[in-house]
């Protein structure tokens, strides 16, 4: 099952077009696949929203990269003192 199919399952369940059981039957997969796809999609959306900063352009840097750069700048600042 490809990512687009998993996304379609998630959208169907999220929008109320189908229950988890109905989506599993429609896509001919086990209900656990539907539950997992919905959980992963929700977490991915939450992670993306947490990383976004309103009013700024999206950067290609991950949250971990930004934290690393901030930590390195702090180390340099402390060394200078």
The string of pLDDT tens digits covering residues 39-76 is 999 999 888 888 777 776 655 667 788 888 888 988 88
On the question of pLDDT at 27 being above 90, the answer is yes
Chain centre to alpha carbon of residue 52: 12
Whether 22 and 36 have beta carbons less than 8 Å apart is answered as: no
Query: What pLDDT was estimated at residue 80?
Result: 84
Single pTM value for the model: 0.61
Whether 52 and 63 have beta carbons less than 8 Å apart is answered as: no
Mean of the per-residue pLDDT values of the chain: 87
- Residue ranges of the domains in the chain? 1-54
Query: What pLDDT was estimated at residue 60?
Result: 66
């Amino acid at each position: 099952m490809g990512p687009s199919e998993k996304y379609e399952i998630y959208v169907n369940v999220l929008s109320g077009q189908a229950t988890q059981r109905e989506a599993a039957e429609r896509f001919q997969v086990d209900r656990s696949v539907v539950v997992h796809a919905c959980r992963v999609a929700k977490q991915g959306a939450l992670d993306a929203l947490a990383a976004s900063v309103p009013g700024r352009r999206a950067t290609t840097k991950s949250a971990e990269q930004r934290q690393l750069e901030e930590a390195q700048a702090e180390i340099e600042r402390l060394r200078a003192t």
